[in-house]
């Protein structure tokens, strides 16, 4: 069994005297690795390594700073299949999902290779009489990242490659539930030739994360996880003057209008709602049908299609390459929480038209499986609508008009993604302007932006102003120092 290490100052180090946590394959409950729960001491060592590496790295010419990123992209491409299997083993998503995750991580490395252009400043000649104004976009120092469990490889890459390409140095604490993927990528980071201390990995749980938030030598934090913790991250960083971008939870609504192409919608609903067992921050989790006819047709066809989803260990060779395989949820605790919310929905009076509890997966009696689950008769304000279930549970609501559907979305605590299905340009335009969500889909079930565009939500789905990935993240990792200069004539 693999015992994971920390990567600090270019060395793989096994911490001593700490506790170890078992990393479980959620499909089989087999222990696949042990992760050290490091202490503030290991974090201090990593931050010190990053702090010492900063001046030299910041002064390295921009084109040389992206050289190891080009190499890393090449190594990630070469190791794509192995890394995808590592993701599936520790997280439980299907192999096609894991490959898509790796592809997006890689895209972000490639996008960050454009930093010599993204980081260019501005100059205004003759800002005043004989005076020029100039904006320099300078690296800042040591940045930290705290990721969630559901995208162990991709989410860190919304930030890390941009941070280091801009001349900063980096410390990342992987999610303790899925630390193996970043360990494997860390080995490629080592081979890519970054100078020691530029990228550091410290394994651990919330204790390391809290030490990062408190550390005086960390200039900024990128966090992705639940809104409860995102809020703590934002408040703690604001108090100590750190930069932060804290992306939180979601409840993504998908509105179906009377003119929607229903068969396409149903296909999208199944992959959006049940891919990754509903554990995607961009998964559709609340379907709003506009009108009775749409409601009845969507319910009938969606429930029928959901019954066809293959629930299995995603590494089972018989199904590994199937497009729509649904693996387990991440842990026993997650399974119990989700099943508890299904029981709540029944108590609240919603109709459980498809119940995924108690599903049997032949050959995998111990995994944390829940089958596709669908509620109808759900009203805004019910707990199963208000709460982020983060599992394979869809709630169907009814609205009479588009205005009512948008009002349901806008009254919700979260605002990560929202989609509309319609062929009508007026409805689509109204939706994209009025729906309060940071990422909008029009006839798209998972409106997750590609690496070249910003990723992040509104309301409780994101605290902070600068989203992840894309060209705008360069603003998070640079300080726009403004120079006003003039020279007098000689003699
Ligand atoms: P989580 O908030 O439980 O944990 C996220 C990270 O925070 C982990 O690394 C954990 O060790 C650390 N942590 C836990 N408690 C902490 C504390 N008190 N202080 C500091 N750090 C702490 O989230 P999770 O269960 O790993 O991930 C699922 C959540 O992430 C869902 O809510 C999902 O919507 C969200 N998510 C959001 C996005 C997005 O783009 N908005 C993307 C992916 C996941």
Residue 323 pLDDT greater than 90, yes or no: no
pLDDT tens digits, 325-363: 999 999 999 999 999 999 999 999 999 999 999 999 988
Tell me whether strands 393-399 and 373-376 are parallel, antiparallel or unpaired. parallel
For residues 133-143, average pLDDT: 98
- What are phi and psi for residue 456, nearest 5 degrees? 165, 160
Query: Is 289 annotated as catalytic?
Result: no
For ligand 1, the distance from its centroid to the CA atom of residue 480, given in whole angstroms, is: 30
Mutate to test the pocket of ligand 1, among 204, 215, 226 (most ligand atoms within 8 A of CB): 226
Burial (0-12, 13-18, 19+ Cβ within 10 Å), 52: middle
Q: What architecture is domain 2-248+461-484?
A: 3-Layer(aba) Sandwich (3.40)
For residues 374-400, average pLDDT: 98
Catalytic residue among 180, 237, 276, 281: 281
How far is 355 from 376, CA to CA, in rounded Å? 12
Nearest to 159 by CA among 244, 241, 81, 79: 244
For residues 407-420, average pLDDT: 98
Please name the residue that has the structure tokens 């979260």: 414
CA distances from 298 to 131, 304, 305, 355, 397 (A): 65, 10, 10, 17, 11
pLDDT classification of 16: cutoffs 50, 70, 90: confident
How far is 128 from 114, CA to CA, in rounded Å? 33
Q: What is the pLDDT of residue 363?
A: 86
pLDDT tens digits, 272-287: 999 999 999 999 999 9
Enter the tokens of residue 53.
Answer: 């590496």
For residues 58-67, average pLDDT: 98
pLDDT tens digits, 91-117: 999 999 999 999 999 999 999 999 999
Residue 87 pLDDT greater than 90, yes or no: yes
209 lines ligand 1 (CB under 6 A): yes
How far is 24 from 55, CA to CA, in rounded Å? 40
Q: What is the pLDDT of residue 464?
A: 97
- What are phi and psi for residue 16, nearest 5 degrees? -105, 155
Domain ranges of the chain: 2-248+461-484, 252-442
CA distances from 460 to 230, 232, 388 (A): 9, 12, 11
pLDDT classification of 481: cutoffs 50, 70, 90: very high
For ligand 1, the distance from its centroid to the CA atom of residue 224, given in whole angstroms, is: 5
pLDDT tens digits, 154-182: 999 999 999 999 999 999 999 999 999 99
How far is 343 from 311, CA to CA, in rounded Å? 21
148 lines ligand 1 (CB under 6 A): yes
226 lines ligand 1 (CB under 6 A): yes
Q: Work out the mean pLDDT of the chain and round it to a whole number.
A: 97
Q: Does CATH place domain 252-442 in 2.40.40.20?
A: no
Contact 374, 410 (CB under 8 A): no
pLDDT classification of 1: cutoffs 50, 70, 90: confident
Question: Ligand 1: which atom is nearest the Cα of residue 281?
Answer: 34
Residue 424 pLDDT greater than 90, yes or no: yes
For ligand 1, the distance from its centroid to the CA atom of residue 225, given in whole angstroms, is: 2
Residue 143, SS3 per DSSP? strand
Mutate to test the pocket of ligand 1, among 87, 148, 390 (most ligand atoms within 8 A of CB): 148
**Which DSSP category does 198 fall into?**
S
Nearest to 79 by CA among 166, 168, 172, 184: 184
Question: Ligand 1: which atom is nearest the Cα of residue 210?
Answer: 20
How far is 460 from 246, CA to CA, in rounded Å? 10
């Amino acid at each position: 069994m693999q015992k994971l290490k920390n990567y600090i100052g270019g060395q793989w180090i096994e911490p001593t005297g700490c506790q170890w946590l078992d990393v479980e394959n959620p499909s089989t409950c087999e222990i696949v690795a042990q992760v050290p729960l490091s202490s503030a001491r290991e974090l201090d060592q990593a931050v010190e390594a990053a702090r010492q590496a900063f001046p030299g790295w910041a002064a390295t010419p921009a084109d040389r700073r992206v050289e190891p990123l080009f190499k890393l992209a090449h190594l990630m491409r070469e190791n794509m299949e192995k890394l995808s299997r590592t993701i599936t083993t520790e997280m439980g998503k299907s192999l096609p999902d894991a490959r898509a995750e790796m592809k997006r991580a890689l895209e972000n490395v490639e996008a960050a290779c454009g930093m010599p252009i993204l980081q260019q400043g501005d100059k205004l000649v003759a800002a005043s009489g004989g005076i020029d104004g100039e904006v320099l976009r300078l690296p800042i120092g040591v940045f930290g990242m705290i990721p969630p469990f559901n995208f162990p490889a991709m989410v860190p890459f919304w930030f890390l490659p941009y941070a280091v390409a801009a001349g900063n140095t980096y410390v990342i604490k992987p999610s303790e539930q899925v630390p193996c993927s970043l360990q494997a990528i860390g080995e490629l980071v080592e081979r890519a030739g970054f100078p020691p201390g530029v990228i550091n990995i410290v394994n651990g749980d919330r204790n390391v994360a809290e030490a990062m938030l408190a550390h005086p030598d960390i200039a900024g934090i990128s966090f992705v996880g639940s809104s409860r913790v995102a809020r703590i991250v934002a408040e703690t960083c604001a108090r100590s003057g750190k930069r932060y971008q804290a992306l939180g939870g979601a409840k993504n609504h998908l509105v179906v209008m009377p003119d929607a192409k229903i068969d396409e919608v149903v296909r999208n609903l199944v992959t959006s709602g049940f891919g990754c067992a509903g554990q995607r921050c961009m998964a559709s989790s609340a379907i709003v049908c506009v009108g009775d006819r749409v409601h009845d047709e969507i319910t009938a066809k969606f429930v029928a299609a959901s019954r066809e989803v293959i629930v299995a260990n995603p590494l089972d060779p018989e199904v590994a390459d199937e497009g729509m395989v649904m693996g387990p949820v991440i842990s026993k605790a997650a399974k119990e929480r989700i099943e508890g919310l299904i029981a709540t929905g029944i108590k609240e009076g919603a109709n459980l038209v498809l119940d995924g509890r108690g599903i049997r997966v032949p050959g995998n009696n111990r995994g944390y499986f829940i089958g596709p689950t669908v509620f109808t008769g759900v009203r805004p304000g019910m707990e199963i609508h208000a709460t982020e279930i983060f599992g394979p549970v869809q709630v169907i609501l009814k609205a009479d008009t588009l205005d009512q559907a948008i009002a349901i979305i806008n009254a919700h605590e979260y605002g990560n993604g929202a989609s509309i299905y319609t062929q009508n340009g007026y409805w689509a335009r109204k939706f994209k302007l009025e729906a309060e969500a940071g990422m909008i889909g029009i006839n798209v079930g998972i409106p997750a932006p590609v690496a070249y565009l910003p990723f992040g939500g509104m309301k409780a789905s994101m605290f902070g102003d600068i989203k992840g990935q894309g060209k705008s993240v360069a603003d998070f990792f640079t300080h726009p120092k403004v120079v006003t200069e003039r020279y007098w004539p000689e003699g």
